[in-house]
Structure 1
Amino acid sequence: MNSQPSGAPAPIPAPSEEASHDWRTVVHNDPVNLMSYVEWVFMSYFGMPKDRANTLMLQVHEQGRAIVSRGEREQMETDAQAMHRFGLQATIEEDAE
């Protein structure tokens, strides 16, 4: 039962703990995709300059993963899903930095 009088605005819920955190999208190395393709995906989807896309592609290749975007969780989920549509392995995680 609602104790608010009818016509009164509903209270705005406090932001959840999850909403206050920043998130990041991480692309992981895989044995399938060519390095040039991964670089192209980063340039195409994120609009990265070639040198930045190349740096991140090499990080994926050499270190096994690279952070490709940071922001609100919903956008990071969208970015990870986009990477999946391009055939790349991607996850999201809380940004501890």
Structure 2
Amino acid sequence: MASSTRTPFHSPSGIEPIASRGWRVVFLNDAVTRMSYAVMVLRKLFGFDEATATKHMLEAHESGRSVVWQGVRENAEAYVFSLQQWHLSATFERDEES
């Protein structure tokens, strides 16, 4: 039986696959949604306690945005989709710090 020698794949230095980089889910403020509704949705989707969900809601209300989750892109897309299904504004972005 012939053995094959495989060379392991190595990324060029300084380059890593996009999937390994972190992504952020950004909850955005809007002028329509009630604050209590936003808190309820954040608790339901992310499992936040009341204080954490309220902190994110107030941060979005005061500064226009709050980072509510970080991780792989596929999960970030799913969280944004879920927030939008609840009629909340959200987006995802690459986490340049990770």
Scaled by the length of structure 2, the TM-score of the pair is 0.81
Instruction: Mark the runs of 5 or more structure 2 residues left unpaired by the alignment.
Output: none
For this pair of structures, how many residues does the alignment match? 88
Residue 96 (structure 1) shift: 2.0
Partner in structure 2 of residue 89 of structure 1: 89
Whole-angstrom CA distance in 1 between matches of 2:36 and 2:61: 11
Whole-angstrom CA distance in 1 between matches of 2:51 and 2:70: 19
Identical positions, percent: 36
The answer to whether 1:55 aligns with 2:55 is yes
Alignment CA distance shift 1:20-1:37 (3 Å) = same
Partner in structure 2 of residue 66 of structure 1: 66
- Map of 1:1-97 to 2, 5 A cutoff? 17-97=17-97
The one-letter code matched in structure 2 to 1:48 is F
Instruction: Mark the runs of 5 or more structure 1 residues left unpaired by the alignment.
Output: 1-7
Residue 77 (structure 1) shift: 0.1
Residue 19 (structure 1) shift: 1.1
Residue 24 (structure 1) shift: 0.6
CA-to-partner distance for each residue in 1:6-41, whole Å, 9 max, x for gaps? xx8xx9977863112100100111111001110111
